[in-house]
Copies of this chain bind each other. A is one copy, B any other.
Amino acid sequence: MIQRVVLSEQVKEELLDGIMSGRFKPGDRLVESQIAKRMGISQSPVREALRDLVAMRFVEVEPHKGARVRKMDDREVVEVYPVRARLEELAGQMAVERAQAHIDDLERAVDKMGRAFRDRDARTMAHWDVRFHRTILEAADNRILLETWNSLMIEARTYLTLSNLMVRRPDVDLTPWHHPIIDAIRSGDPGRCGAEMRKHVEDIGSVMREAVAEGTLDATQAEAHDSNPLRREAKVG
Residues of A within 8 A of B (CB): 5-6, 44, 47-48, 51-52, 55-56, 63, 75-76, 79-80, 82-83, 86-87, 89-90, 94, 142-145, 148, 151-152
Contact = CB atoms under 8 A, between A and B. Distances in A.
A47 B142 CA distance: 30
Contact of A90 (B80, B86, B151): B86
Nearest to A77: B144
Chain multiplicity (copies): 2
A55 B5 CA distance: 19
A interface SS class: helix
Given A6-B63, A63-B6, A145 B82 contact: yes
B79 A90 contact: no
Contact of A52 (B55, B75, B148): B55
A126 to B, nearest CB: 19
A67 B44 CA distance: 18
Contacts of A86: 86-87, 89-90
A133 to B, nearest CB: 16
29 contacts: A5-B63, A6-B63, A44-B44, A47-B48, A48-B51, A51-B51, A51-B52, A51-B55, A52-B55, A55-B55, A55-B56, A75-B143, A76-B143, A79-B142, A80-B144, A82-B90, A82-B94, A82-B142, A82-B145, A83-B87, A83-B144, A83-B145, A83-B148, A86-B89, A86-B90, A87-B87, A144-B152, A148-B151, A148-B152
A22 B123 CA distance: 46
A147 to B, nearest CB: 8
Nearest to A57: B147
Contacts of A148: 83, 148, 151-152
Nearest to A84: B144
Contacts of A6: 63
Contacts of A63: 5-6
A79 B90 CA distance: 12
